[in-house]
Chains A and B, each alone.
Chain A
């Protein structure tokens, strides 16, 4: 780390000598959009892929535009490889064309009046490379993304997946220190998506610079991102690798994304007392403000109160029933609003209907408790 600024999050606090590469991106992105404020600390190491995950309107795309220089910061700062790019307090702003940043836009924005090859060569030409050399290099990139045969096609004639790869080649051709991808797979159909996701992962792994990728799809974030930064309402609410996020969600949004029941309460010993007074027995001791998470499939349903075993049991009311993959998801109302996944056979046996009272049970060993 060459900058003397205090870093707000992530690896930045660690000493430079201790292994992790210095952060390529170190930023506190503050953008004021009238009624909405983005305030997002962000560090990305060289070679690292950070996925910004969040619901629509969370400010992910605003963050991306701020990183690219398409929207100036209102406050905070942005450094790339230790060089300040945007610092409102110093009245410093480097425009997008002078940043080493490549962007893959959501709908690609390939120039419709240029061939695929010239689209990829555009950035190289802007860097002052001669036409012939730029085209040669661009052809190499098209080959790398498997589109050597499409060099003279107009973007209009490309399929969605092809256009996505051209956009990636165009962004990578200038060898940016920071690659930004805005919902790179959102515009693709399910089948192409699978394919392109795998290819994209390979290209991102080969990219030496930092990568920030914006998505609202948790699967994209988990497959493509080395680290996931969850953004809600302009704020960072959780970050970590895929395993961490899926095991220990910290907001209802994340819990829903990863399909867990999540409750917040006060831990003492092997129990967490929730706001409504309900107490959940947990496997690991936890103290102070804590989360309890458990899978819907860990929630068993009974018509009468079950007894024995170290179970948490509580009375509930069926709120709704829907198919969920191979099982049936039952939404429960009551003191502990949770989801329960049971087999279709069990559902038939219970004869579940909305409004019906049931008993829900979850074993302490199936719960995961962690400090809030």
Chain B
């Protein structure tokens, strides 16, 4: 959250900027390690044939599918994750710590394991999936819906963490003020609480969307890689690397562009200029 009214600049003192010089070398190596591969990507891009490759219907289909599924997955995360974050932040209940740990689990879990787990539960023979198939004739695996579920599974913790943090940081007395003005719980939530945490909510949604866009392991395990149906950009990149590496570079460039755009959009929050 932004600090109210005044931003206090702490006095940095004389020790500011006086670290051991030896730190510079590993720091520079670290920076180069992070940046050089991206530079290489840009340098090796087939710029002359770029427009044609981008216009390739297969590329466009993958891009469209990626944007669509990431957006729907983010919507799913918002609908389910915001209430979850609210409960974790505001409602004390026994086992809250355990619940929070469970919510965070996908964050550290290898995505491919998430994909296997989803398959076991929602697959054709899965715990829930078998009922979905026999009662409703619905089969989730290897459909765009499966892509959405895989992405949401992996990306939800990002949203929950961000929103829970924002809710904890928000001054709850505003909600008291709303109540004394006659606002019921839903009105207070919609008109006061959520707008107050809007920056955190937006940041969480963007992070969640970015994570969903880049999702690979859970997607390929649970949804497969059918061009035009479940083959998202990351999957297309991986497969193109085997058939036409130049295409892989182009697709990677697109994802890099999207990432840079996200970072630019979030710089207020995540990259303080100081």
Contact = CB atoms under 8 A, between A and B. Distances in A.
Interface in A170-206: 170-171, 174
Given A103-B180, A122-B183, A156-B4, A109 B173 contact: yes
A15 B183 CA distance: 38
Given A122-B191, A156-B5, A111 B183 contact: no
A171 B176 CA distance: 13
A6 to B, nearest CB: 29
B181 A95 contact: no
A99 B198 CA distance: 29
A76 interface: no
Nearest to A71: B176
Contacts of A174: 181-182
Interface residues of B, number: 20
B196 interface: yes
Contacts of A102: 180-181
Given A113-B195, A126-B187, A156-B4, A95 B178 contact: no
A70 B180 contact: yes
Interface string B195-211: 11010000000000000
Interface in B154-195: 171, 173-174, 176-184, 187, 191-192, 195
Given A105-B173, A109-B173, A111-B174, A68 B180 contact: yes
A96 B180 contact: yes
Given A112-B196, A122-B191, A101 B178 contact: no
B60 to A, nearest CB: 39
A97 interface: yes
A109 B5 CA distance: 13
A185 to B, nearest CB: 18
B181 A126 contact: yes
Interface in A69-127: 69-70, 95-99, 101-103, 105, 109, 111-113, 122-123, 126-127
A97 B177 contact: no
- Among A112, A170, A171, chain B packs the most CB atoms within 10 A around the CB of A112
Nearest to A113: B195
A174 B183 CA distance: 12
A156 B171 CA distance: 15
B182 A109 contact: no
Contact of B182 (A105, A111, A113, A126): A126
A111 B180 contact: no
Contacts of A105: 173, 176-177
A196 B155 CA distance: 52
Contacts of B196: 111-113
B198 to A, nearest CB: 7
Nearest to B181: A123
Given A112-B4, A113-B196, A97 B176 contact: no
Nearest to B184: A97
Interface string A305-347: 0000000000000000000000000000000000000000000
A113 to B, nearest CB: 4
Nearest to A126: B182
Given A113-B195, A113-B196, A123 B182 contact: yes
B6 to A, nearest CB: 10
A122 B198 contact: no
Contacts of A122: 178, 181, 183, 191
Given A97-B184, A126-B187, A103 B5 contact: no
A127 B180 CA distance: 12
B192 to A, nearest CB: 6
Nearest to B180: A103
Contact of A170 (B5, B181, B191): B181
Nearest to B195: A113
Contacts of A98: 182
B182 A97 contact: yes
A111 B192 CA distance: 7
15 contacts: A68-B180, A95-B179, A96-B176, A97-B183, A102-B180, A102-B181, A103-B180, A105-B177, A111-B174, A112-B196, A122-B178, A122-B183, A126-B182, A174-B181, A174-B182
Given A97-B181, A103-B177, A109-B171, 9 more contacts: A68-B176, A69-B179, A70-B176, A95-B179, A96-B179, A101-B180, A103-B176, A109-B177, A126-B178
